């Protein structure tokens, strides 16, 4: 079955359980889109920089090893553009800006990088003299706790009027709707809209705000919390703010879909709602979505696919974001780029599963240096999930590597490390991780050689 438009909606830092806690209030307004719910979808990394390469290029983070998308891989937008789609993207995450190649394949790309006022955005767009200042700051603060960075953010946002470090959902919808009201091309459309409101700092509009007299006070509260040692009461307040942001974001997604439906954009269209990663609230002693968290509070994300004529309503099999782009292209009868590493789970979408889709799900991260916009990939953490077994190999906390093994069929919250009990299982999964890393390194070297050869030919 060939579809026309593709509407991809992603929510930054949206964990699965909170999404569905709030989604239940909106189900009546979203039911008409016929969403298939994938109840065990996993991100391939704990943050935007580690996850979005898998979403847009169906390749793992360590193949890129940096914030920038490598040029040797194809993107979902490029594949659709080459097939005649008109491609438009809207978001306000500085690390998804055109500076890092995420605009590839988009005819129109609105990243608002020049409008966003945040330390991250300033670092991304900084000219040379400011870049030197940031590097000096990074050397001065090297080895300092996260608390110092929270203090810097607190001072940054304390002075002046209330402002957010991103374009909030209501204003983003205004931009999207304004553009789509003028869209009159006789071409299939690929529209990507990425909402940032669920990402910290959490400061929902007053309608969704509790415990604070203003959004600015809520914003500043985020930076008063010691991220290394928060009080239980503070964690509860942050979670309540997070849920407020989730409710606000879902309200705006319903609003956007209603507009697109009224304007005819949802006719014969695929609609996808997902998230790049989740958010931790001290389930394993950590807040946020730090680079070294590969537990399910950060990796388990919502995935809904609508507009498909299928009898399937819920899928309980494991799927991963790495396989989302290949699946969409498969449904659209579009050939994927040779660089795609994911496998289509189209059979699950249409209820035709014959057991062939049985993924090994790898999630990856490394130590970041975000001021200098790079990663130290010699210090990494990788997990592998196969069926109900999950192994985490951590070379960040331990030089030689620490291992954690969990049986998700009995312990989805990953409380009971079985690595010393299930040695055979741990050994097999560790072997899969080592093979995965060898393959990535070999493929990365091959692609980089090809790119150098191509560059030399062009120079001649």
Concatenating the DSSP letter of every residue in 36-75 gives: EEEEEEE-SSSSHHHHHHHHHHS--HHHH-SSSPPTTS--
Give the CA distances from residue 278 to residues 16, 204, 287, 458, in Å, rounded to whole numbers and listed in that order.
7, 18, 11, 42
**Residue 312 exposed, middle or buried by CB count within 10 Å (0-12, 13-18, 19+):** middle
Q: Answer yes or no: are the C-beta atoms of 394 and 371 closer than 8 Å.
A: no
Query: Pairing between strand 270-275 and 6-11?
Result: parallel
CA distance 99 to 125: 8
The vertex-385 CA angle with 383 and 386, nearest 5°, equals 145
Residue 149: what pLDDT?
65
User: Is residue 188 situated within a structural domain?
Assistant: yes
User: Is residue 209 situated within a structural domain?
Assistant: yes
User: Is residue 187 situated within a structural domain?
Assistant: yes
Q: Answer yes or no: are the C-beta atoms of 349 and 327 closer than 8 Å.
A: yes
Residue 135: what pLDDT?
54
The CA-based dihedral angle spanning residues 42, 195, 12, 370, taken in that order and rounded to the nearest 10 degrees:
140
Residue written as tokens 């529209």? 191
Nearest to 71 by CA among 452, 451, 458: 451
Nearest to 192 by CA among 45, 105, 91: 91
Cβ neighbour number for residue 187 with a 10 Å cutoff = 13
Q: Answer yes or no: are the C-beta atoms of 348 and 39 closer than 8 Å.
A: no
Strand extents, DSSP E, 187-238: 189-195
Give the total number of structural domains in the chain: 1
Containing domain of residue 189, as a range? 6-359
Describe the chain by its helix, strand, coil percentages, rounded to 5.
40, 20, 40
User: Is residue 311 situated within a structural domain?
Assistant: yes
CA distance 122 to 120: 5
Q: Is the peptide bond before 219 cis (omega within 30 degrees of 0)?
A: no
User: Is residue 385 situated within a structural domain?
Assistant: no
Q: Answer yes or no: are the C-beta atoms of 134 and 367 closer than 8 Å.
A: no
User: Is residue 437 situated within a structural domain?
Assistant: no
CA distance 350 to 344: 12
179: its two tokens: 């553009």
Q: What is the CATH number of the domain that holds 281?
A: 3.40.720.10
48-77 burial: b if 16+ Cβ within 10 Å, else e = bbbbbbbbbbbbbbbbbbbbbbbebbbbbb
CA distance 312 to 53: 28
Residue 453: what pLDDT?
81
Name 397's Cβ contacts closer than 8 Å, sequence gap at least 6: 292, 381
CA distance 322 to 392: 18
Residue 127: what pLDDT?
61
Q: Answer yes or no: are the C-beta atoms of 85 and 187 closer than 8 Å.
A: yes
User: Is residue 424 situated within a structural domain?
Assistant: no
Q: Answer yes or no: are the C-beta atoms of 318 and 38 closer than 8 Å.
A: no
Name 421's Cβ contacts closer than 8 Å, sequence gap at least 6: none
User: Is residue 55 situated within a structural domain?
Assistant: yes
375: its two tokens: 């990663």
Full-model pTM: 0.94
Residue 71: what pLDDT?
85
> For every one of its 460 residues, what pLDDT tens digit does the chain have, with 9 covering 90 and above?
456 899 999 999 999 999 999 999 999 999 999 999 999 999 999 999 999 999 999 999 999 998 999 888 999 999 999 999 999 999 999 999 999 999 999 999 999 998 887 767 776 776 654 445 555 455 545 544 466 667 767 777 777 788 899 999 999 999 999 999 999 888 999 999 999 999 999 999 999 999 999 999 999 999 999 888 999 999 999 999 999 999 999 999 999 999 999 999 999 999 999 999 999 999 999 999 999 999 999 999 999 999 999 999 999 999 999 999 999 999 999 999 999 999 999 999 999 877 889 999 999 999 987 666 789 999 999 999 999 999 999 999 998 899 999 999 999 999 999 999 999 999 999 999 999 999 999 998 888 888 778 777 766 5
Residue written as tokens 């050869």? 453
Give the CA distances from residue 129 to residues 5, 67, 136, 203, 369, in Å, rounded to whole numbers and listed in that order.
44, 21, 11, 32, 18
Residue 396: what pLDDT?
95
């Amino acid at each position: 079955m060939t579809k026309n438009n593709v509407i991809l909606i992603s929510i930054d830092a949206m964990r699965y359980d909170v999404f569905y806690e709030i989604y239940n209030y909106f189900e009546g307004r979203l039911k008409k889109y016929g969403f298939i719910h994938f109840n065990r979808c996993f991100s391939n990394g704990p943050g935007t920089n580690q996850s979005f390469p898998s979403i847009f290029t169906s390749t793992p983070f360590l193949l890129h090893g940096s914030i920038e998308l490598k040029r040797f891989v194809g993107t979902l937008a490029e594949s659709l553009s080459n097939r005649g789609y008109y491609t438009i993207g809207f978001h306000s995450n500085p690390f998804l800006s055109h500076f890092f190649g995420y605009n590839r394949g988009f005819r129109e790309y609105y990243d608002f990088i020049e409008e966003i006022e945040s330390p991250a955005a300033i670092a991304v767009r900084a000219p040379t003299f400011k870049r030197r200042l940031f590097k000096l700051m990074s050397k001065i603060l090297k080895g300092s706790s996260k608390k110092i960075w929270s203090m810097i953010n607190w001072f940054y946002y304390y002075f002046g009027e209330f402002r957010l470090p991103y374009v909030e959902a209501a204003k983003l919808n205004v931009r999207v709707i304004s553009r789509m009201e003028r869209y009159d091309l006789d071409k299939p459309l690929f529209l990507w809209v990425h909402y940032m409101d669920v990402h910290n700092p959490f400061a929902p509009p007053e309608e969704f705000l509790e415990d604070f007299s203003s959004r600015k006070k809520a914003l500043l509260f985020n930076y008063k919390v010691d991220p290394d040692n928060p009080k239980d009461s503070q964690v509860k307040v942050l979670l309540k703010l997070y849920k407020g942001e989730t409710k606000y974001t879902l309200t705006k997604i319903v609003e956007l879909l209603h507009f697109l439906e009224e304007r005819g954009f949802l006719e014969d269209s695929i609609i996808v709602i997902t998230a790049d990663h989740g958010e931790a609230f001290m389930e394993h002693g950590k807040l946020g979505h730090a680079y070294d968290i590969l537990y399910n509070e950060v990796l388990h994300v919502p995935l809904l696919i609508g507009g498909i004529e299928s009898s399937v309503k819920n899928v309980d099999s494991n799927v991963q974001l790495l396989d989302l782009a290949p699946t969409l292209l498969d449904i659209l009868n579009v050939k994927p780029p040779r660089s795609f590493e994911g496998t289509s789970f189209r059979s699950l979408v249409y209820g035709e599963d014959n057991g062939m889709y049985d993924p090994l799900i790898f999630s990856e991260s490394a130590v970041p240096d975000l001021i200098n916009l790079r990663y130290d990939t010699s210090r990494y953490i990788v997990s592998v999930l196969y069926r109900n077994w999950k192994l985490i190999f951590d070379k960040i906390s331990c030089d030689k590597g620490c291992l954690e093994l969990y049986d998700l069929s009995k312990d989805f919250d990953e409380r009971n490390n079985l690595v010393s009990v299930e040695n055979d299982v741990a050994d097999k999964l560790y072997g899969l991780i080592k093979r995965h890393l060898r393959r990535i390194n070999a493929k990365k070297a091959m692609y980089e050689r090809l790119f150098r050869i191509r560059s030399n030919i062009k120079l001649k």
